Amino acid sequence: ASDVLYEERHPEELARALAKLVSAKGSIYLSDPGRVYLDRALEEFKNLGFHRVDFEFQVEESASRPEIRLEKTRQVFVYQFLRE
């Protein structure tokens, strides 16, 4: 899932839905730019018994037109969740 935590109800619903879909030895990957509901999602995965591996990337912003050059980067957080 990528950048899906827009609404207040999403963190718990998303975590529960993905937990039902992943196999016992499977992984869940979630990426997010640090939205307001991210911490609640991380806590819900923990409550559901998942171990978390954190990754952090600096992503260069891209422009829709090649002649526009942006000198801007942003953080993107990627989490891998594994069953404990």
In this structure, is residue 17 part of a structural domain? yes
Region 22-47 average pLDDT: 94
In this structure, is residue 76 part of a structural domain? yes
Q: How many domains does the chain have?
A: 1
In this structure, is residue 3 part of a structural domain? no
In this structure, is residue 2 part of a structural domain? no
CATH number of the domain encompassing residue 47: 3.40.50.150
Give the tens place of pLDDT for each residue, 36-83.
999 999 999 999 999 999 998 887 766 556 666 666 777 889 999 999
In this structure, is residue 1 part of a structural domain? no
Give the tens place of pLDDT for each residue, 6-17.
888 899 999 999
d(CA 84, CA 40): 19
In this structure, is residue 5 part of a structural domain? no
What DSSP string runs through 49-65?
TEEEEEEEEEEE---SS
Its domain, for residue 20, covers: 10-83
pTM of the model as a whole? 0.80
In this structure, is residue 44 part of a structural domain? yes
Q: How far apart are the first and last CA of the chain?
A: 20
What integer pLDDT is reported at residue 11 of this predicted model? 94
In this structure, is residue 26 part of a structural domain? yes
